């Protein structure tokens, strides 16, 4: 899983609660991404950040928020506005060149109580 760590591995959310998923990388990558994966499905982009203090919405940003205060960190908050948060969340990072691969963290599985 490269030099990217995600925590926790499993997360339980109660209704109305905001929860934050951690993502840290030591690859010195500028770009970082959050994806959502539903069972047996592909990846959907939630948010991405190409540089510190800047981030953009992806395809399914509603109900989520992010911050990018440090190059190595890109936490994702799943807010109470996200009505169907149960999914597998993947963080990734990559360098700035088009030829560079994406490195993925091990994922966080979010479950609703």
Partner 1 sequence: AQSVAQPEDQVNVAEGNPLTVKCTYSVSGNPYLFWYVQYPNRGLQFLLKYITGDNLVKGSYGFEAEFNKSQTSFHLKKPSALVSDSALYFCAVRDPWGGTGGFKTIFGAGTRLFVKA
What is the contact surface with partner 1 in residues (CB under 8 A)? 1, 4, 6, 31, 33, 40-43, 45, 48, 50, 56, 88, 90, 92, 94, 96-107, 109
* Closer Cβ to partner 1, 71 or 80, answer by number: 71
Task: Give min distance, CB of 42 to partner 1, in A.
Answer: 4
* Closer Cβ to partner 1, 20 or 41, answer by number: 41
Task: Give min distance, CB of 16 to partner 1, in A.
Answer: 27
- The candidate with the shortest Cα–Cα distance to 85, out of 112, 47, 65, 105, is 112
* Closer Cβ to partner 1, 5 or 73, answer by number: 5
Q: Provide the 10 A C-beta neighbour count for residue 38.
A: 12
Rounded to 5 degrees, what angle do the CA atoms 65, 62, 22 make?
A: 30
- The candidate with the shortest Cα–Cα distance to 46, out of 110, 89, 103, 94, is 89
């Amino acid at each position: 899983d490269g030099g990217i760590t995600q925590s926790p591995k499993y997360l339980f959310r109660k209704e109305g609660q905001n929860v934050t998923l951690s993502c840290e990388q030591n690859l010195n990558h500028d770009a970082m991404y959050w994806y959502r994966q539903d069972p047996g499905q592909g990846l959907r982009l939630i948010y991405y950040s190409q540089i510190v203090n800047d981030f953009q919405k992806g395809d399914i940003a509603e109900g989520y928020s992010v911050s990018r205060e440090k190059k190595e960190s890109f936490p994702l908050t799943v807010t109470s506005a996200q009505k169907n948060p149960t999914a597998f969340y993947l963080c990734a990072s990559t360098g700035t060149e088009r030829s560079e691969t994406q490195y993925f963290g091990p994922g966080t599985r979010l479950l609703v109580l």
